């Protein structure tokens, strides 16, 4: 039974990661049609340097994802603390309203945002993309930070205030440092949600300003090129590096004294 469980786990890992490994490997294959046998080359990375559309859309995606991560993390953390530490009328309803943006299909959300933004005069473009991505990322941040907040004892702030600290000082000096790993994890989650977002970006982008997922979709319709593999590999390795840094410094599970 144990051997069967290990085989099942291995099969899942292969199913998840094998396509990604193949995608990265084909970015170094000489054939533009992914023909075998494999011949190593870096010409697609050289060609990528001259592909202004892919590079500009990749930069747009990273910039929007960074702005989304910052704004959504700040707003979502404030909302999570308010819902977790304050007595608010209709708190249960507010917590329930966080789930529909995650559960509703993004196609419906994108259509609704497009109609609403045109109706209010916001229009499309970078500002609309940021608003749309932030709106999608905030519920994830609230859930992640709220879960982390539940593991922190509320009486620690009360003890600090009983010793003369103000509520604001007690939060920033006691709760916030303990909540930092959850906030950082929520920020990475918001960054990933924004960077990966296609549907909302497709509806809200303009011909002169688009994101990498939309640009890749347009490129695939015209004819696939391994340059897409190259830029996807670069972004993937960059994202993995950020996750590794988070895992090293956040130390999930906390430190245990070894005595």
| DSSP secondary structure letters along 94-132 | HHHHTSHHHHS-HHHHHHHHHHHHHHHT--SSHHHHHHH
Q: How far is CA 122 from the centre of its chain?
A: 24
Q: Taking the domain 52-250, which CATH number applies?
A: 1.10.3720.10
Give the model confidence (pLDDT) of 162-214 as tens digits: 777 777 777 888 888 888 888 988 898 899 889 888 889 999 988 888 888 88
Expressed in angstroms, the distance from the first to the final Cα of the chain is: 36
Q: Which of 58, 199, 62 is nearest to 136 (CA)?
A: 199
Question: What is the sign, positive or negative, of the torsion defined by CA atoms of 192, 137, 152, 171?
Answer: positive
Residues comprising the chain, all counted: 259
> What own/partner pairs with CB < 8 Å and gap ≥ 24 does 59-65 have?
60/126, 60/209, 60/210, 60/211, 60/212, 61/194, 61/195, 61/211, 61/212, 61/213, 61/235, 62/195, 62/235, 64/126, 64/129, 64/130, 64/133, 64/194, 64/211, 65/133, 65/191, 65/192, 65/194, 65/195
- Give residue 129's pLDDT: 92
Task: Give the pLDDT confidence of 115-145 residue by residue, as tens digits.
Answer: 998 898 888 888 999 999 999 999 989 988 9
What does the alpha-carbon distance between residue 255 and residue 249 come to, in Å, rounded to a whole number?
Answer: 11
What gap in Å lies between CA 208 and CA 57, rounded to an integer? 10
**Confidence check: pLDDT of 87 > 80:** no
Instruction: Select the more confidently predicted residue: 93 or 183.
Output: 183
Per the DSSP assignment, residues forming a β-bridge with 209 are 206
The answer to whether the Cα torsion of 120, 126, 130, 132 is positive or negative is: positive
Which residue ranges make up each domain of the chain?
1-41, 52-250
What pLDDT score does 249 carry? 60
87 CA to centre of own chain = 30
- Is the Cβ–Cβ distance between 191 and 241 less than 8 Å? no
């Amino acid at each position: 039974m144990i051997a069967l469980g290990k085989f099942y786990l291995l099969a899942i890992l292969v199913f998840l990661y094998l396509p990604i490994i193949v995608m990265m490997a084909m970015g170094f294959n000489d054939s533009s049609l992914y023909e075998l046998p494999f011949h190593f080359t870096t010409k697609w990375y050289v060609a990528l340097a001259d592909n202004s559309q892919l590079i500009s859309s990749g930069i747009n995606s990273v910039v929007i994802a960074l702005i989304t991560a910052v704004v959504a993390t700040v707003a979502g953390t404030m909302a999570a603390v308010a819902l977790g530490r304050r007595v608010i009328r209709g708190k249960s309803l507010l917590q329930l309203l966080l789930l529909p943006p995650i559960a509703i299909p993004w196609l419906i959300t994108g259509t609704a945002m497009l109609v609403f933004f045109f109706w209010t005069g916001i229009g499309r473009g970078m500002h609309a993309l940021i608003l749309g991505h932030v709106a999608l990322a905030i519920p994830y941040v609230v859930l992640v930070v709220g879960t982390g907040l539940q593991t922190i004892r509320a009486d620690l702030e009360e003890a600090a205030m009983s010793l003369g600290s103000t509520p604001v000082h007690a939060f920033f000096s006691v709760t916030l440092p303990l909540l930092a790993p959850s906030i950082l994890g929520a920020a990475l989650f918001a960054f990933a949600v924004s960077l990966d977002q296609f549907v909302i970006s497709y509806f809200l982008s303009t011909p002169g300003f688009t994101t990498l997922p939309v640009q890749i979709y347009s490129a695939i319709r015209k004819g696939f090129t391994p340059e897409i593999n190259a830029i996807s590999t670069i972004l993937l390795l960059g994202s993995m590096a950020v996750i590794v840094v988070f895992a090293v410094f956040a130390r999930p599970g906390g430190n245990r004294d070894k005595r």
